[in-house]
Structure 1
Amino acid sequence: MRVLKEKFAEQNGQTVTAYTLVNDQGMEVTAIDYGCIITKIIVPERNGSFENVVLGFDTLEEYQQHSPYFGAVVGRHAGRIANAEFTLDGTTYHLEKNNNGHHLHGGLQGFDKVIWKADVKEEKESISLEFKYLSKDGEEGYPGNLNMKVVYELNNQNEFKVSYEGVSDQKTVLNVTNHTYFNLSGNLKEDILNHTLTLKSSRFLELDKELIPTGEILSVDSTPFDFRSGRKIKDGTESAHPQNILAGNGYDHPFLLDEHQNNEIHLYDKESGRKLIIETTEPGVVLYTSNQLEAGFSIRGTASREYLGICLETQGFPDSLNHPQFPSAILEKDEVYTSETVYKFSFN
């Protein structure tokens, strides 16, 4: 196993570095210390060809100009917070408004747009990148000085683990995720409409027209949201279900996971044979099928368009601060926030 390190760009006099983790099977994961962005994941398909299975760019300028959070760690709070405010112990906190008057994925200068301190850790059976960042009290409107750590670890079983840890010196809120867009066809040869997704989930959150949870938890039974036995993504894009239409003809919905750390998320591309199994400690996963991916730029030579990638964002629920029935995103002073998600790649 080995790690490659090279300069990726410069940002305000600081060097942005790209790190590539390579295991003994030839799998590669490349990430930069700007936003902890995963720029490439290279894995084999059934015929032995190694190709990239995530959406990303080769320059920092493209990420800053065009990226809808490709590959980034987002926080302090993933997803939308209605009206960009929440109340904690009687104090109302006003966050940056960056999405139709609401707060999305940490705001204007969230975790995805800062340079993290990176260190390489090498073990006998794995290699990892450890990213650290101090989010200062008041950043984007959030209370508390928050020390964050994100670890990307690759082993020889083609398993890629993402771990998060956070500690604040004040009571605050925290809900982070990784926003990678997957496309198992390899090098964006096809869109993701024929990918088959299996989810161990019997319930999902209803969204309003602003794509914010209404608070209602709906059953997936007899709907295009039932992925328990496997379903092609195109079912939702062709659906007349009001929630599919509202999301832009597809999915942008949080699902409640019925199981954890037990093959609960399974993505498969029949053409290449590639499989991705995701296991997590998080209560849910937001399924986004890039229904709103804008045209007008290219992604490593492929024209951007709808349905080019699928996000499986393991996390707590969007707007949970305004819905007491949802799992809490509140982090007490000096409490240690932890979260872990494992991505297992294979083919058949």
Structure 2
Amino acid sequence: MKSVTLLRSIFTASLLIPLAATAGQATRESFGHTADGQNVDIVTLTNSHGMRARVMSYGASLQSLLVPDRSGKLVDVVLGYDTLQGYLDRRQYLGATVGRYANRIAHGKFTLDGKTYSLTLNDGTNSLHGGTKGFDMQVWKVLDVKSGPTPSVTMEYVSPDGDQGYPGTLTVKATYMLSDDNQLKIAYVATTDKPTIVNLSNHTYWNLGGEGSGSVMDQTLMIPGNDITPVSDAASIPTGEIASVAGTPYDFRVAKPIGRDIRDGRSQQLLFGKGYDMNWVLSRKEIEPRVVARVEDPHSGRVMTVWSSKPGLQFYSGNFLDGTTVGKDHHIYRQGDAFVLEPQLFPDTPNHADFGSARLAPGDIYKNVIVYRFGIDQAAK
């Protein structure tokens, strides 16, 4: 029964509403300057249905994404700011590319090829999303902007040897593509000149009802993962255990509202994270791209399926949005007003042999291709 429900959920997302056709376009303009005078560009990608993505070179970040509802109305489903200054004033990873290592590394230390490396600490005693100045805080170089059937932008950042404590010069490219069938694809590619560790992902805060529309707790989520990697305390470092989701609030194998079990005080993991903030085990190694999550907003009918080949998926339910963030159009973002889905390696993988490997060697190519497919469920109410 669960497999039938899962298949029905996946294929429902392919139902799209046609809109007035226009040519796929990519345009580039300045979005402002950093405190040290660096220019930040923003590239607007528009497909033939009018769907529009805006990507800025600060953090190679998704600044906005307009998606149609069941009546064809376009609404921005990405939390963020109207101007660059909001992103500069407060580090929240809104829409950002995170790395070199997405998620946490315990005590900011790992050993590679017999040598121990110490990273910058920015999450208590741990290193989070690359350290004190990760990829989300860098101005990326815009390499290419293309109009056409699939408008796209490619950006590059070269992280020098020793950056935030990581070994090797890492060259990273991030390409955003908006296809004619309402798919937004983000392709991360990285190479290095000496052995290092890499785990890149995207940290967009999503609300399929529209940013600023309120809580996402009644939006339904499916994650086809049988297990999670539990954490030991509020620092969110994995214990190394692989634990089943069966009989727990973490069981999203059959779609359910995000908020249905979020207040279950019997779950110590929910207490640690003040809500969902956990890595789901989707596989024990990288496999062919497949659905790693499906979200549906019952009010607008918008459906988003997320595809990736990575073995893990971090799901975060916006627990630390505390009402002090004033985003686009003066909207106040509060707890539970968005969710984050990050396809990735497992957190703290370099310190857990059973989690696999995050090692990248010279001559090898790191890839993480994330696809967000948008559609409409006409039956949703």
Whole-angstrom CA distance in 2 between matches of 1:247 and 1:316: 19
Partner of 2:303: 275
1:309 partnered with 2:338: yes
Whole-angstrom CA distance in 1 between matches of 2:146 and 2:115: 44
Q: Where does 1:142-157 land on structure 2 (aligned, <5 Å)?
A: 142-157=166-181
Return the letter of the residue paired with 1:220: V
> Which residue of 13, 23, 31 maps to 1:8?
31
1:322 partnered with 2:351: yes
Q: Which moved more, 1:238-247 or 1:29-38?
A: 238-247
Question: What is the CA-CA distance between 1:107 and the residue it aligns to?
Answer: 0.7
Whole-angstrom CA distance in 2 between matches of 1:94 and 1:67: 22
Partner of 1:243: 269
- Give the structure with the larger strand fraction: 1
Partner of 2:214: 190
Local SS of the residue matching 1:43: strand
Return the letter of the residue paired with 1:70: L
Q: Which moved more, 1:268-277 or 1:250-259?
A: 250-259
Whole-angstrom CA distance in 2 between matches of 1:268 and 1:53: 12
Return the letter of the residue paired with 1:276: M
Question: What is the CA-CA distance between 1:260 and the residue it aligns to?
Answer: 5.3
Q: 1:124 to 1:62 in 2, by over 3 A?
A: closer
Return the letter of the residue paired with 2:160: K
Partner of 2:323: 295
Return the letter of the residue paired with 1:268: E
Partner of 1:137: 161
- 2:47–2:149 Cα contact (<8 Å) kept: no
> Which residue of 68, 80, 84 maps to 1:56?
80
1:253 partnered with 2:278: yes
- 1:96–1:140 Cα contact (<8 Å) kept: yes
Q: 1:304 to 1:188 in 2, by over 3 A?
A: closer
Question: What is the CA-CA distance between 1:256 and the residue it aligns to?
Answer: 1.1
Return the letter of the residue paired with 1:247: G
> Which residue of 222, 230, 242 maps to 1:217?
242
Local SS of the residue matching 2:353: coil
Whole-angstrom CA distance in 1 between matches of 2:289 and 2:125: 36
Return the letter of the residue paired with 1:233: I
Query: Unaligned 5+ residue runs, structure 1?
Result: none
* CA deviation vs aligned residue, 1:293-335 (integer Å, no higher than 9, x gap): 2332311222121111100001001101110100211111221
Question: What is the CA-CA distance between 1:133 and the residue it aligns to?
Answer: 1.0
How many residues in Structure 1 have an aligned counterpart in Structure 2? Answer: 347
Query: Unaligned 5+ residue runs, structure 2?
Result: 1-23
TM-score normalised per structure 2 = 0.89
Local SS of the residue matching 2:270: helix
